[in-house]
């Protein structure tokens, strides 16, 4: 197999300066690509959203960060906003329905304020 080589020739620059310039260009491109990724949104109360996001099968967490289940169903109000969310609990058999005013959505997961047993 014949080996191909491409001479590094940048008029007016030394090879070290050209390599440094190329490295900086790649680093800048990586920083711009990273900045273009979507930032997570702050949780918003489900009953305040003007459009109902696709929530079915979204993971559900309590306010302490414990996963408690997944969204099984949503009930909209006549104006299209959410009234309630039904959660299939982690045990797989039981469900819990909570008002949308007690739940929020951060773009990836639903967070609900549920009372802790005994408190």
In the chain, what are the domains?
44-112 (3.90.50.10)
The count of other CB atoms within 10 Å of the CB of residue 57 is 9
Q: For the residues 85-109, what does the mean pLDDT come to? A: 89
8 Å CB contact between 89 and 69: yes
pLDDT surpassing 60 at residue 105: yes
DSSP 55: -
The count of other CB atoms within 10 Å of the CB of residue 46 is 26
The predicted-structure confidence for 33-77, as pLDDT tens digits, reads as follows 444 444 455 677 888 876 666 788 899 999 889 999 999 998 888
Q: For the residues 96-119, what does the mean pLDDT come to? A: 82
pLDDT surpassing 60 at residue 5: no
pLDDT surpassing 90 at residue 1: no
């Amino acid at each position: 197999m014949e080996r191909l080589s491409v001479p590094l020739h940048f008029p007016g620059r030394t090879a070290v300066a050209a390599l440094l310039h190329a490295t900086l260009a790649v680093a800048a491109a990586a920083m711009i690509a990273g900045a273009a990724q979507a930032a997570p949104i702050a949780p918003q109360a489900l009953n305040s959203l003007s459009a109902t996001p696709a929530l079915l099968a979204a993971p559900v967490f309590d306010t302490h960060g414990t996963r408690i289940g997944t969204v099984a169903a949503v009930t909209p109000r006549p104006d299209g906003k959410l009234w309630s969310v039904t959660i299939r609990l982690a045990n797989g058999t039981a469900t819990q329905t909570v008002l949308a005013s007690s739940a929020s959505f951060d773009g990836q997961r639903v967070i609900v304020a549920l009372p802790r047993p005994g408190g």
